[in-house]
A and B are shown apart, each in its own frame.
Chain A
Amino acid sequence: MQFTRFIRSSSCAFIAGLVVAAAAHAQPAPAASAAPVAPVAPVADMVGRKDAPLYVALGGQAGLTGLVDDLLERLMLDRRTRPFFQNVDAPDFKHKLVMQLCDISGGPCKTVNANMKKTHAGQDIRRSDFNALVEVLQETMSARDIAFSDQNQLLARLAPMHRDIVNTH
């Protein structure tokens, strides 16, 4: 009798938890906040789409270019991240990052799959370093009035890269 009760109450709680999790996961992505669609010539192949909601929310090509400009500036100012970025070739880095963000947000850019492990192998990167970059990126996006839900959607696509980028434990 007690056993049946415990099975029932535990199952109910777990099912409730799973239902909530499933509902949260299944929700259509919140509509990207209104942002002017930057008039942009499609870059390289038209694999993505220039009206992809997250790409639009980030401001399209012009928005991403401005975002990456701001981001690198902040990364150089933050003492946690400066050591990792002070020696990068800025124009090359910015171009590559804009293309990657365009691709990852569903925009019309096709990037060659960068090997994250290789490009970061020359640096000792800990989890706290990765999180510091996330925080600077969050600050950059907030300063550019990108909605919190859109920020989280971009972060959700970028976060799994920690497995290849964090190499020091």
Chain B
Amino acid sequence: MFSTARRLALGAAASLLAGAVGTAFAQTPASALGGATSDGAAAATAPASSQDKPSLFGGRGKLLLTSGVSSIDGAAGGGLSPWAVIASYAEEGETGATAHLSQLKTDNYRLTTAGVALGVNDRFEVSFAQQRFDANVVAPNATLRLDIVGMKLRLLGDAVLDSDTWLPQLAAGAEFKHVEPGSAVGAVLDSVSAKRSGVDLYLSATKLFLAQGVLVNGTLRLTKANQNGLLGFGSSDNNSYRLKPEVSVAWLLQRDIVIGAEYRAKPDNLAFAGAPYRESAWKDLFVAWAPSKRLSLTAAWVDLGNVVGHSRETGPYVSAQLGF
């Protein structure tokens, strides 16, 4: 029932997660483990440290909005793109999680996304997301399901506090995707030799220019996905990876509100099959509000461009993210 690719992906994710969590806890500072300090000082003069021992879960050490929101693929970042930030408010030495629910409604289609993400030590992120795409306009009862397992590793840099340098925070990630297209759309995918599984690899650079309150992200994604994977991966015309750029810009209006814009270029592997299958870049304008570290709400206007015969699919997007 599970395809080999999916099993491999989930296995890889599980082992990497176990390894990362283990590494993260190995780095828990000694002071948290009962106060025995290396200099052997008496208890009365033990170094001061926070009364909060690093929590096993639910760390909230990051500043508000500095872990982005949940993207439609499940990774932390903007709405369309993964950023170099690690999910949740968990800081170094902490572990945290997020859960999100999002919906995009364009003129002819609806996309619903749900997912969870785990952030470990502000270094490693794993996410699970499922997209349901209502394509009834194409064929009755046509609902595409796209499962995405994401992994991200922060390589270097600090997006927020390194305000005296241009060096951004850098992260590398992978998104393992598998689509269940249903029989009608499945037949279309078969006719163009689009595969049901694929992997996106990406590199993201994120920087908050703190003095100006402006965040910029650039992502380079290696992908074969057609419409992000909803129409499979690759085609008989093109089966090689494409390198596509993505840019997000966000302005912090207040500590808890940010507005911004995103642009995400995409491959065009199915263009040979005719004009209805041409792909456009995805774009959006968004506003995100975080009343607390437990909740953030995002609203956006999204432009998907050409989606299977409808040339200008645009519409509103709403998303809610819970933080644990």
Contacts and interface: CB of A to CB of B under 8 A. Distances in A.
Interface in B286-322: none
B27 interface: yes
A168 B38 CA distance: 13
Interface size class of A (residues with CB under 8 A): 35 or more
User: What does DSSP make chain B's interface, helix, strand, loop or mixed?
Assistant: loop
B245 A10 contact: yes
A135 B175 CA distance: 34
A83 B216 contact: no
Given A10-B220, A168-B49, A24 B164 contact: no
Interface string A108-139: 00000000000000111111111110110010
Interface in B2-60: 27, 29, 31, 47-52, 54, 59-60
Interface stretch (B86-94, B144-152, B176-184, B224-232): B86-94
B273 interface: no
B48 A25 contact: no
B161 A169 contact: no
A126 B218 contact: no
B50 A129 contact: yes
Contacts of A87: 48
A152 B92 contact: no
B247 interface: yes
Contact of B59 (A24, A128, A155): A128
Nearest to B265: A9
Contacts of A13: 218, 245-247, 263, 265
B245 A83 contact: no
Interface in B240-289: 242-247, 249, 252-255, 263, 265
B237 to A, nearest CB: 11
B275 to A, nearest CB: 18
A127 B210 contact: no
Interface in B133-169: 158, 160-166
Given A126-B61, A131-B63, A10 B243 contact: yes
B214 interface: yes
A124 B211 contact: no
Given A83-B50, A123-B47, A126-B92, A17 B218 contact: yes
Interface in B177-228: 207, 209-214, 216-218, 220
B122 interface: yes
Interface string A1-37: 0100010011011101100110011010100000000
A169 B162 contact: no
B162 A160 contact: yes
Contact of B61 (A132, A149, A156, A162): A132
B35 to A, nearest CB: 10
A169 B265 contact: no
Nearest to B253: A148
Given A10-B220, A17-B218, A131-B91, A156 B245 contact: no
Given A9-B265, A156-B164, A160-B161, 10 more contacts: A25-B166, A29-B211, A79-B52, A80-B50, A122-B48, A125-B49, A129-B49, A135-B63, A149-B213, A152-B252
Interface of B: 27, 29, 31, 47-52, 54, 59-64, 91-94, 122, 158, 160-166, 207, 209-214, 216-218, 220, 242-247, 249, 252-255, 263, 265
6 contacts: A21-B216, A128-B62, A129-B61, A160-B161, A162-B158, A168-B49
